[in-house]
Amino acid sequence: MKRRTVVTVAAFAAAACLLPIAGAQAEDKLALYNWGDYINPEILTRFTKETGIKVTLDTYASNEEMLAKIQAGATGYDIVFPSVHMHDIMAKLGLLARTDANTLPGFANVDPAFLRAKSDPKGEWCVPYAWGTVGIVWNRKLVPEGIRSWKAFFDYAAKHPKKVAMLDDMRETLGVGLIVNGKSVNSRNPADIKLAQATVLAHKPNLAAFTYEVIPLVQSGDLAAAHYFVGAMMYVLEKPDQLGYAIPAEGATSYQEDICVLKSAPNKAAALKFIQFFLRPEVSVLNTIQQKNGSVNTKALALLPPAMRDNENINPPAAVRARLQIFEDLGPDLKLYDRAWTKVKTN
């Protein structure tokens, strides 16, 4: 999930000391802690209507922010939505509750290809939630031919300096450096990471910025193209003659979040009810339609409007999926990326 913005980071900084105080324990409550704008509110309304369980929703802007808050002892949350590598980290740190989710009715709707966490290959702890790609969004007036590869992206940047932007994200942007050099985005080889650093640095003079706040600038034509996640499809589908989005030919990163119950969850029974509710195709599809991202629920896919189901960016064919990589936890080797990113930012 890629929606980390400066805005939310600043809000986090302001709110960091206001940890939630555990609410009264009651059967009829459920506290979700999710990424900002990452669930269709309609789902929460329907869940409450059907079960009488009152749902509260708090949001975070990055995996690290959520982890830091849970580690700092925030209690009162039942369900979190970590990315796959964070699911593994939280499992390692003993922060998750075993749910035996794979015994729930409806679990068979989940495509087993999305049981990606190494710590949880059978879905005994968490359930896949949603997924998507990180690609390129462009302004069709400025780039009528489109930008469908990293090569085209950087060539355009060389011809039109300061008209393209990349994400202000250590692993995503160094990840592009790794992909164009044919390396894994999870490489722990210092030579690979140095190569990625050199690639990004070589293009940096032609970039306008490293930033997440690009959609309004691409819409207005201040930027011609930007490295951005599939959430851009919300805007592309609204104005298909204005914007385009593509998964680059060389490959791209994908992300996936899982629904996990915290070990410290005060309302475990309600949390399980919610997971079971979300496994229903007609519920899951509500989220996909609103979020314009990938579905992990095979039966929900069948319910999608054809325009979305057949959209290769939202629901990529197998050949495209084969080019996608997903981030893994790198443990202590994360520091190689931190150093490379500092070099990129300071040179």
Which stretches of the chain bind other proteins, using CB under 8 A?
6-7, 9-10, 62, 64-65, 67-68, 71, 89, 92-93, 162, 165, 168-171, 204, 207-211, 213, 216-217, 220-222, 331-332, 334-335, 337-339, 341-343, 345-347
Closest CB 345 distance from other proteins, rounded Å: 4
Q: Which is nearer to other proteins, 45 or 71 (CB)?
A: 71
C-beta closer to other proteins: residue 52 or 94: 94
Least CB distance from residue 170 to other proteins, whole Å?
A: 4
Work out how close the CB of 212 gets to other proteins at its nearest, in angstroms, rounded to a whole number.
9
* Closer to other proteins by Cβ: residue 222 or 250: 222
Whole-number minimum distance, CB 112 to other proteins, in Å?
28
Nearer to other proteins, 43 or 91 (CB): 91
* Closer Cβ to other proteins, 55 or 91, answer by number: 91
Task: Choose between 198 and 303: whose C-beta lies nearer to other proteins.
Answer: 198
Q: Which is nearer to other proteins, 305 or 331 (CB)?
A: 331
| Least Å from the CB of residue 168 to other proteins | 5
Residues 69, 76: Cα–Cα separation, whole Å: 12
Is the CB of 145 or the CB of 338 nearer to other proteins? 338
Closest CA to 151 of 192, 172, 182, 189: 182
* 199 vs 295, beta carbon nearer other proteins: 199
Q: Which region holds residue 37: left if phi is over 0, alpha if psi is between -120 and 50, else beta? A: left
The CB-of-193 to other proteins minimum distance in angstroms stands at: 13
Give the Cα separation of 25 and 124 in Å (integer): 25
Burial of 243 (0-12, 13-18, 19+ CB in 10 A): buried
Nearest distance, CB of residue 257 and other proteins, angstroms: 17
CB of 140 to other proteins, least distance (A): 16
CB of 243 to other proteins, least distance (A): 16
SS3 per residue for the chain: CCCCCHHHHHHHHHHCCCCCCCCCCCCCEEEEEEECCCCCHHHHHHHHHHHCCEEEEEEECCHHHHHHHHHCCCCCCCEECCEHHHHHHHHHCCCECCCCHHHCCCHHHECHHHCCCCCCCCCCCCEEEEEEEEEEEEECCCCCCCCCCHHHHHHHHHHCCCCEEECCCHHHHHHHHHHHCCCCCCCCCHHHHHHHHHHHHHHHHHEEEECCCCHHHHHHCCCCEEEEEHHHHHHHHHCCCCEEEECCCCCEEEEEEEEEEECCCCCHHHHHHHHHHHHCHHHHHHHHHHHCCECCEHHHHHHCCHHHHCCCCCCCCHHHHCCEEECCCCHHHHHHHHHHHHHHHHC
- Using alpha carbons only, what angle is made at residue 316 by residues 311 and 321, rounded to the nearest 5 degrees? 170
